[in-house]
Every structure is written in structure tokens, then in C-alpha cells.
Structure 1
């Protein structure tokens, strides 16, 4: 199968899965249960193994994976976020090391159909100000892991967790893989979330978990200055994937409002009302504008990822600025569109789009990103600007 045919097949599968998820999206959102059945749907459709780096007979490119995220997110943004974080984590072997273990990890992900969850923090002192939340104590043949880490998706249904932890002896920060069923791993689901209720957020507790040397994926640098250019793409790659989730929310909300336009439950007039046409023209334009900005950032990220270890040291900062711009535009569009949709009508379930957009963007205020974008525009600074983008 050619690359083009593989892309078409994968996008067709994503549309089929999205249509399936859309049929009971409101009911599942109201229930707010962990995504056990939903993860099974993604696995059975083959979507979990989609973004392993392209290999003979399998894998796809970054642009296609982002299109899959966006398609699924338009139907159910919780599952879009599950895929976004899972896809980024499947690249961790490439981001944090270039030895043969990266390929082994990718092959195991495909073979076992693993669903990944977890969080690898951004280098720098901000997160460690109160001490590390996960600590490794060396043993003769490995480590013992203790602590607690907040996880945004799939905490009770993941097959593998990927986290960074600080070695209590050396101070090195290691990126490690922890099987979800390992002794001492305790998942704590979060209840009563405002939005993204089916994403499966929560925390994972590591209570004396034994970590072998084979579970060490690589090293996370201590600061930005010592971060290899390709490793520096890990954090903006995740943020870009989440931009596609936000874009999917905006598109899904607008499409559902349009489809409900002829329903008696929907308050807005149908047909040729000029005010309604003006409103939909404005909202559709906002969606298309956000899509154009996100696609530009996606193209830049895809090019940088395809360059691999030969990436120029200045390239990650340039990509980071494009991602920050996409985040800003998409967050504003998603919040605006989902709010206006609620004003247009009073149909059951429309509120989930606003709640999901609010939850997805709440912890990433736009002000510091805009300052960093302005700094980059005025001064053209590299890594310093990238640091400002990723932190308030």
C-alpha cells in the first residue's frame, strides 16, 4: 500500500470511528465514566498504532495523525485528547534517545496495541521548585520509583505510563516507561470534571514500583540550553496535537448547531434569516482562519520532525512560535464559537462543546504566549523565546 493510499484509508477509518462516537457522545459525556469502551473502539479500528514513525508496511506521517485527531475530536474531544497525548508519547523514544531502543519501543506499541498515558515535564526549575513529585532510588539492577503524577488522559485504561523522575542520588532526570499493571502502580481517576469528562484524567501513584534498566527510555535535560534540538520538539509537538483537538471542538460545535437548525428544540430561525446567516458566516470564517494557522504550524512541525537528529539548533524556536500562534488563535476561536452556539440554541448537549473547550484551554493563558510571540517578532531571539512560550 502506498503512502497516499495508507493516508486515505486511515482518514476514512477515523471518519467511521468519529461517526460511531458521535451517536452516543451526549450520553457518554453525561455519564463521565472512564473511557474503557472508547479505548477499545480506537484499538479495534487500528488508530492507536497509527503514528508510529513510518516503517515498511506501517506507520503514518505527522500531518495525517493530526488530521485523525481533529476528525475524532469533532465528534468527541475527550477521545481526541486521548489520541493527541497517546500519539505524542509514542514518539518519546525518538525525542529522548536515538539508540535502537526507540525502534523496539515503537514495534512493541504496534504489536501489543498499547495505549499510552503520562506526562513528561518541561526542563527547567519551575516544576521542581517544591521538589520532584516522582523520585527514583537506585538499586543494584535498576531503581525504585515513588511519588504521584497528575495525568490528563486514560489514567485507568492506559497500558503504559511515560513519566520523568529525578534520581535521588545523581539528580539526573530519567524518562521511564511503567506498565500500568506493575505492582505498586495505583490509578486515581478524577471525578466531576467540568469538561473532557470521558478523557480519563486523574493521577497515578507510584508506590515502590521497581524499574528495570530496559524501562529507561532516555534522559530529560535539566535545562533548555542543554536540550538537543530534536528533543526540544517534544513539548510543542504535544501542544500542536492539542491545537487539533481545540480545532475539532470548534468544528464539531458549529456542525452540530447547523444540523440542529431545523429541529424544534433549536431556538434559532432556519432558512434565509439575514442575522443568522451573518452569525454563521462569522463563525465559519473564524473556524477556517484557525484551521489555516494550525495547518501552517503542522507543516512546520512535520518538516522539523522529518529532519530528525540533523535539525538545526534554531529551528525548534521557530516552530515553537508557530505552535504558540496556533494555540492562541485556536483557543480564542473555540471559546468564541462554542459560546455563540449556546446563544443560538438550547439543544441538549450543546453545552459540552463549551465545557470541553474551557477545560482544554483553562491552564494555558494566552497572555504569556502573546508576549513571547511579540518578543520573537521584535528581537528574533531563539531558545529564550521558546522558554517564555511554554511557561506563564
Structure 2
């Protein structure tokens, strides 16, 4: 579907749209998790709601919104389905990839292309694998190789590739159509959580890209900016937001179950007529809700901070400002992981034995958060914060910081 009509909404209206999507996803989230089918319908829902083009330019039919709003939208969608929240968050990051590293002309072309056509992004950029190999062939570069993970794969319209030009140490990003013979998705994603993210492996064979589309390259040369390194803090906060959404969805679902089904314990000597009057249940939910509110406040603080630099002129970002944002995001990420995993476990103590029935799917929240939070060791995030607090050291840009 091609669109040029601006989707002009306030930030609150975009959040309302995200809540509507989340509510629809939540209805059968447990069932869809069990089936583990490619989420074509779910991505169509994201497109129809306009959320896919939330960051796109208004003149091409996009929302023209800030990253601060985008992060909250990711979180809301993840409340309904953690997998779809992850897909949307990765899409936003890859849709912004051109702004991170490309030239002004390349940015304009990519943003018009995806916004007008409601295109959805995936990415084959896993730093722990060997880089894709890039060969130069006249006015084109040619990608070849294999990646273990390619989130979004079969549901994407566009795929972000990254590799190293042979004979150099030059990394080159490019955005290519997903539906082509040279890109083969292997349908081998079958993990315990985030099951609908289409994050399986991919083989790239002779995918050709004009040198003119090599992101950020002018006359085959790249001119780096500190802004280029914001891709990692930006996606780390994507993680924190869909983790937060998963944790919120877990607590929300557990509270609803307790209201409707949990029975008071009749053998404690201080018998109550309803579960809502049980002191240990009230104590437990009070503890979890307080911790979740605290994590949310820290995630929101980080979102405000990085949004400000993502939308500022690229040339103005300093390494120091980048480092301050990165360490704040590291703190937010570790806090929401710890809180979310605790919620995913303790809700069973508060809902009761019958809540463990498969039909309720309460286990999916822990499985989803546990699976993706292993993306990179959270201990290193704690170390980054510790080095900042004790030694006043800022994180150095890497593929994971």
C-alpha cells in the first residue's frame, strides 16, 4: 500500500493507537505463542495502524514523531505481545539506520521509500558472526555470507546488510529488498521465547548493491561521526523498552487472573474471604508494582536523553555526550531485566497453582524476557555503570556498547 497522506497525531494519540494494537494482540497471544507461526497478520496490523511509519517524514505520509514517543510505542505493543514489540523496535532502529550513517541524499531516498510504501525492516547484522564479505565489482559491491540471526526475516520488505570490503577493514551498510533470490531465510528460529520474531539464520549470495547506495560512502570513502555510533545505545534502549512492556504485560495479566480466579488460602489461621484481602498477595503485588514503576522511570529518563541527541544535528554530538547517554541506558537495561525476570517468576506465587495451566500462558512472559535478555551479558552493563560511578569512565563505542 502506497500512502502520501500525513498521519498527523499527537504523541498521546500514537500511544493510544499502540494500546489498541496491544489489546488486539493480547487476546490470543498465548495461543499464537504456542503455534509459533510467521506473524504476517501481526505485521499487517502494525502497518494498518500507522505505527510502522511513526518516525517517517510527514511529507511522505509518516508520523514525524520523536524517538521518545517511539520507545513508548514499542513498550505498549510489547505489553500485548513481546515478540511483536521486538519486531517493531528493530524496525524503528533499522528505519533510522540511514540517518545514523548515510549521506543526506541517501537518507531522503530511504525514508521516502519505506514511508510511502509502509515497508517493514529486518536486519542481518549479528556482530558475533563472521562479517559478510563484500567484493567490489565496478560500480557495484557484492555481499556474500551467512548470519545466525536475522530478526524480521520473512515478514520484512527491506533488509539491512553489513559486511567488510575485501582487502580493507571498511564496514559497509546497505538496505536491500528482502524478497530476492540472493537472500534465503532458513526458518530455523525455534527458541523458548520471543518465538514470533522470525529471528532465524539467513544466507546471502551475490546480493548486489550500487556503490551509490553504500550507506555514508562518498567516492567510496566513509567520513565517520560520533553520531554513527548511536546505533548501539539506541537499540539497547529498544531492548529495555520491550523488556519493560513484557514485564508490564506479565503483571497486568497476573493481576487480572488474581481478581477473577485466585482463591484465598483457608489454612493459614488468619483466613480471608477473598484473595484480594490476603496480606501476602497484597504485599507481593505491592512490591512488584513499586519495582516496575521505578524501572519505568529510569527507562523513560534514558528515552528522553537519547531522543534529544538522536534528533539533534549529527555533527554536534560529542563522545562525552554519547557516553553519558550510553551509561544511562546500561543502567536502565539492567534494572528492567532484573525486575522483569522477578515479576515473571513471582506472579505464579501470587496467582496460585491453577494459573500454571497451559491455556493461560503465564509462562510466556518469563520465557520471552529470559530469551532476549541473553542477547549480551547484563553483567557487562553493570560493569559499565560501576566504572562510571567509581572511576568516572564512559563506555567506549563497540558493537555492544
With structure 2 as the length reference, what TM-score do the two structures score? 0.88
Shift of 1:275: 0.9
Instruction: Note the residue ranges of structure 1 that are not aligned, 5 or more in a row.
Output: 220-225
| 1:223 alignment counterpart | none
| 1:331 alignment counterpart | 337
Question: Counterparts of 1:167-182 in structure 2 under 5 Å?
Answer: 167-182=165-180
Residue in structure 2 matching 1:65, options 61, 70, 91: 70
| 1:303 alignment counterpart | 308
CA-based RMSD: 2.4
1:39 correspondence with 2:49 = no
Residue in structure 1 matching 2:81, options 73, 76, 81: 76
SS of match in other structure, 1:51: coil
Relative to structure 1, is the Cα distance of residues 234 and 270 closer, same or farther in structure 2, using a 3 angstrom cutoff? same
Q: May I ask how many residue pairs the two structures share in their alignment?
A: 376
Question: Counterparts of 1:152-191 in structure 2 under 5 Å?
Answer: 152-191=150-189
| 2:268 alignment counterpart | none
Instruction: Note the residue ranges of structure 2 that are not aligned, 5 or more in a row.
Output: 218-222, 266-273
| 1:21 alignment counterpart | 25
| 1:193 alignment counterpart | 191
Relative to structure 1, is the Cα distance of residues 3 and 156 closer, same or farther in structure 2, using a 3 angstrom cutoff? closer
Relative to structure 1, is the Cα distance of residues 5 and 209 closer, same or farther in structure 2, using a 3 angstrom cutoff? closer
Shift of 1:197: 0.7
| 2:318 alignment counterpart | 312
| 2:16 alignment counterpart | 12
| 2:350 alignment counterpart | 344
SS of match in other structure, 1:202: coil
Cα contact 1:372–1:386 (8 A) shared by 2: no
The runs of at least 4 aligned residues of structure 1 exceeding 6 Å deviation read: 1-4, 265-268
Cα contact 1:187–1:202 (8 A) shared by 2: yes
Cα contact 2:142–2:209 (8 A) shared by 1: yes
1:230 correspondence with 2:227 = yes
Higher mean alpha-carbon deviation, 102-111 vs 7-16, is at 7-16
Distance 1:2 1:51 in 2: 12
Question: Which deviations, in whole Å up to 9, do the C-alpha atoms of 1:223-261 show, x marking residues without a partner?
Answer: xxx952211211110010111100001110000001111
Relative to structure 1, is the Cα distance of residues 218 and 343 closer, same or farther in structure 2, using a 3 angstrom cutoff? farther
1:208 correspondence with 2:206 = yes
With structure 1 as the length reference, what TM-score do the two structures score? 0.89
- Which one has the largest radius of gyration? 2
Cα contact 1:77–1:249 (8 A) shared by 2: yes
Distance 2:185 2:335 in 1: 34
SS of match in other structure, 2:308: helix
1:279 correspondence with 2:289 = no
| 1:258 alignment counterpart | 255
Question: Which deviations, in whole Å up to 9, do the C-alpha atoms of 1:291-325 show, x marking residues without a partner?
Answer: 01101111110111122311123111110000000
